[in-house]
C-alpha cells in the first residue's frame, strides 16, 4: 500500500498533444476519488487546479493532489500524501514540483526545480541533466489530458521520460481500446490505457494496471485499477466540479 495514491496521480502519455487554443483543464477544476482495496473503501484522493498566484503568471496553473487512508486503515498504515506542481500550460512542462508524503513510518519531502531551457532539474542542491523534457508524478496526468485522440490506434505504444526519486526513466503506455464504463454518473465513453513501469518501481507488474480517461473534451481521469499480490486496488471517480466542458454521459 506504500504507493496507494500514486495510482491516482501518475499517468503519462505521449508528446503528440493536441494543437488547440486551450487545454482541457482550467483553474477551479476539482476531482474526488474513492480508493478501494477489493470491496473495502481504503481511502480517498483529490485533484484540484488553481491559478498560479505564487508567480502571478497567467500561463501557469497550480495542480494539487492529495491522498489519505480511511480512519480504519489509519490504525495499520496511515497515509497522508500531498503533491504540488506549477505547470507551464503553454509548453506543457512542470516548473516546480513539491512532494510531501507520510506513509506509515516513512516520511519524505522533495522539491524539484525544472529548467527546461538549460535541460536540468535541481533537487536538494543536486543537479540532474536530461535530454528530453520530463514530467513529474503529478504534471504527468495533466500532460496526458492534452493527447490528440486522433493520433493513437489499437496497441499504440509510447515511451516517455519521467523524473522521479532523483532518477530519469522511461514509461511505456499502450492504448488498448475504447469502451463505455458504467459509473454513478451514467455510462462514460473512455479510452483505456495500460502503463508499464520498470520492474521494482511502484508496481511489480505494470501490465496489470489499467486507466480509463473520458473520451470527450475534458479527458478526465475516471478510473484506475491495478492488481497487486494481495488483491486489487481501484480508484473510482466520486465527484467533479468546475470542469471546462460538461462530462459526456451515455445513458
21 has pLDDT over 60: no
Cell of 94: 512542470
Q: What is residue 197's predicted lDDT score, i.e. its pLDDT? A: 56
Question: Measuring CA to CA, which residue among 69, 66, 59 is closest to residue 84?
Answer: 66
User: Under 8 Å CB-to-CB from 80, ≥6 apart: which residues?
Assistant: 67, 68, 101, 102
46 has pLDDT over 70: yes
Q: What is residue 58's predicted lDDT score, i.e. its pLDDT? A: 77
Most confident by average pLDDT, 8-12, 20-24, 95-99, 152-156: 95-99
- pLDDT band of residue 118 (cuts 50, 70, 90) is very high
The SS3 assignment for 140 reads helix
Mean pLDDT, the chain, as a whole number?
Answer: 81
Q: What percent of the chain has pLDDT over 90?
A: 37
Which helix (H) or strand (E) segment holds residue 208: the answer is none
Q: What is residue 152's predicted lDDT score, i.e. its pLDDT? A: 67
* Number of Cβ within a 10 Å radius of residue 34: 16
Alpha-helical regions (H) of 20-85? 71-77
- pLDDT band of residue 202 (cuts 50, 70, 90) is very low
What is the rounded end-to-end Cα distance, in angstroms, of the chain?
A: 35
Tell me how far apart the alpha carbons of residues 99 and 9 are, in angstroms, rounded to a whole number: 12
Question: Measuring CA to CA, which residue among 5, 120, 139, 140 is closest to residue 62?
Answer: 139
Residue pair 143/17 in contact (Cβ under 8 Å)? The answer is yes
* Number of Cβ within a 10 Å radius of residue 77: 16
Cell of 104: 506509515
Amino acid at each position: 500500500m506504500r504507493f496507494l495514491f500514486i495510482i491516482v496521480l501518475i499517468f503519462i502519455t505521449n508528446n503528440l498533444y493536441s494543437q488547440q487554443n486551450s487545454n482541457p483543464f482550467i483553474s477551479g477544476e476539482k476531482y474526488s476519488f474513492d480508493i478501494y482495496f477489493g470491496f473495502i473503501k481504503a481511502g480517498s484522493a483529490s485533484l484540484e487546479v488553481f491559478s498560479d498566484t505564487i508567480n502571478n503568471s497567467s500561463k501557469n496553473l497550480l495542480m494539487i493532489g492529495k491522498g489519505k487512508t480511511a480512519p480504519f486503515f489509519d490504525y495499520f498504515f496511515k497515509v497522508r500524501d500531498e503533491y504540488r506542481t506549477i505547470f507551464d500550460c503553454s509548453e506543457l512542462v512542470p516548473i516546480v514540483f513539491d512532494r510531501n508524503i507520510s506513509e506509515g513510518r516513512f516520511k519524505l519531502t522533495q522539491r524539484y526545480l525544472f529548467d527546461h531551457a538549460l535541460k536540468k532539474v535541481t533537487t536538494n542542491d543536486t543537479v540532474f541533466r536530461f535530454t528530453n523534457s520530463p514530467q513529474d508524478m503529478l504534471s504527468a496526468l495533466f500532460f496526458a489530458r492534452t493527447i490528440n485522440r486522433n493520433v493513437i490506434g489499437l496497441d499504440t505504444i509510447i515511451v516517455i521520460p519521467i523524473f522521479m526519486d532523483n532518477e530519469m526513466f522511461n514509461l511505456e503506455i499502450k492504448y488498448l481500446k475504447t469502451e463505455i464504463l458504467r459509473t454513478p454518473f451514467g455510462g462514460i465513453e473512455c479510452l483505456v490505457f495500460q502503463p508499464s513501469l520498470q520492474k521494482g518501481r511502484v508496481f511489480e507488474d505494470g501490465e496489470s494496471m489499467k486507466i480509463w480517461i473520458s473520451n470527450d473534451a475534458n479527458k478526465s481521469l475516471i478510473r484506475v485499477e491495478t492488481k497487486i499480490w494481495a488483491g486489487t486496488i481501484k480508484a473510482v471517480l466520486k465527484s467533479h466540479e468546475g470542469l471546462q466542458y460538461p462530462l459526456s454521459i451515455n445513458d
